[in-house]
Structure 1
Amino acid sequence: MVLYDEYIDKLKHQVQREKEEYYKEKGKMENIIEQIKDNEKKLNEIKLKSDRLLQVKLLFQNVSHFAREQSKRQMEHLVTQCLQYIFDPSFEFRIEIVEKANRIEGEFYVVSKVNGQEIVTRPQDSRGGGVVDVISLAIRIAMMQISEPKIQGPLILDEPAKHVSEDYIMNVADFIKQVSSIFKRQIIMVTHNNHLLESADVCYRVELKDGVSIVTPLNLT
């Protein structure tokens, strides 16, 4: 009888230990389930945030593309007008937007027509440095005019159109004069070219003597 009671007690203790182990493991499992639910909730929140960020990214890309196209068209129009005014009415300026190494870049081209055939060249390959000078000048003007917020103050030019031939330099002088008048912007220009000099409203000669700059007003009349 004593052995039987001891056996029963032993079984009871064993059952109790098994119960304790069961509830212990059950508690762990419930904690794991709660962690899984919590992680699933966080994952869903991250997915939702990721979807929103993707939508924002797409929106920014669309807005950026639209703004880029607007600026591209404005710049093409202004530079084309400049080229046509100075060189030839058949000239056209084009910008090709390309993606290189995850960066957006613009390639510049000059389009001209010869005998009805369209010829597309890079600026440096089209009539030499004069075209490059004029495009550079026109792009500077375009950037100042289309920038937001507006860039205030004068346009400062240092030896503009220095590679433009005598055949077209008068057109450059007239173009600069027109830009100042149309956009109501003062232009301060440093030049050695007499044709550009004569287009100025006010002119000064600056000479360096013994390390000192001597400024002398010039009478253009």
Structure 2
Amino acid sequence: MQNLQEQIKNLESQFEMFTQRLGSLKGEHKLLSEQQEKSEILIEKLKEDEDTYTKAVELLSLVQKVTRDKIKDSFELIVTHALNYIYDSDKYSFHLEFSRRGNLQEMEFAVQTPDKPESLDLLKTDAGGTKNIVSLALRIVLMEVASPKINGFIISDESFANLSEKFRPKASQFLE
């Protein structure tokens, strides 16, 4: 009989331990469920933020492209006009090309002239007067498109020193 009572006490003790362990596991389960719920809410918020950021990047890329194209068109038009006006021809054209190298935005420019079939890379050639005209026209364009507007004048030291005498009167008229 005593053996039976010991077994009952032992079983009651084990039952008490299991009950405590069950309570502890229920508490852990509740805590983990709450953490899971909070994590799921956070994941949804992060997905919404990611969507917002993706849309913002797409919008900024579009704005960058439109702005770049507008700048390109304006610069090409004005510099081409300057070249054609000074050289009294409609066969000159100025071209800008934008590209990316890693995170850097790069811009290259060249001039198409009537006497050469290939474009003239002004940075790699000693183009003399043409380089001077393009340089001056670019400075004028930058002053015109700057915001806020830059009021003032351009200081030019021998801007047309490399320009043929034949074209200097037109260059002077262009500056006026």
Question: TM-score surpassing 0.5?
Answer: yes
Q: For each residue in 1:12-67, what CA deviation from the matched residue of structure 2 results, as whole angstroms up to 9, or x when unmatched?
A: 11111111012112211221222122112111111110110110111011011101
Tell me, which stretches of 5 or more residues in structure 1 are unaligned?
178-221
> Letter of the aligned partner of 2:169 in structure 1?
M
Q: Distance in 1 between matches of 2:169 and 2:124?
A: 23
Q: Distance in 2 between matches of 1:138 and 1:168?
A: 15
- Matched residue count: 175
Matched, 1:68 2:68: yes
Residue matched to 2:59: 59
Fraction of identical pairs, as percent: 27
Residue matched to 1:187: none
Query: Cα gap change, 1:135/1:11 in structure 2, threshold over 3 Å: closer, same or farther?
Result: same
Q: State the Cα distance separating 1:119 from its structure 2 match.
A: 3.4
Matched, 1:158 2:157: yes
SS at structure 2 position matched to 1:157: coil
> Letter of the aligned partner of 2:152 in structure 1?
G
Matched, 1:93 2:120: no
Q: Distance in 2 between matches of 1:103 and 1:124?
A: 19
- Counterparts of residues 126-145 of structure 1 (less than 5 Å): 128-145=127-144
Of residues 51-60 and 94-103 in structure 1, the stretch that sits farther from structure 2 once superposed is 94-103
Kept in 2: contact 1:124–1:131 (CA 8 A): no
Residue matched to 2:26: 26
Residue matched to 1:183: none
Matched, 1:173 2:172: yes
Tell me, which stretches of 5 or more residues in structure 2 are unaligned?
none
Residue matched to 1:77: 77
Greater share of strand residues, 1 or 2? 1
Greater share of helix residues, 1 or 2? 2
List 4+ stretches of structure 1 deviating above 3 A: 124-127
TM-score computed with the length of structure 2 as normaliser: 0.90
Q: Distance in 2 between matches of 1:162 and 1:53?
A: 52
Residue matched to 2:37: 37
* Larger RCO, structure (CA 8 Å, separation 6 or more): 2
Q: Distance in 2 between matches of 1:51 and 1:156?
A: 50
Q: Distance in 2 between matches of 1:148 and 1:71?
A: 13
SS at structure 2 position matched to 1:120: coil
Q: Distance in 1 between matches of 2:102 and 2:57?
A: 19
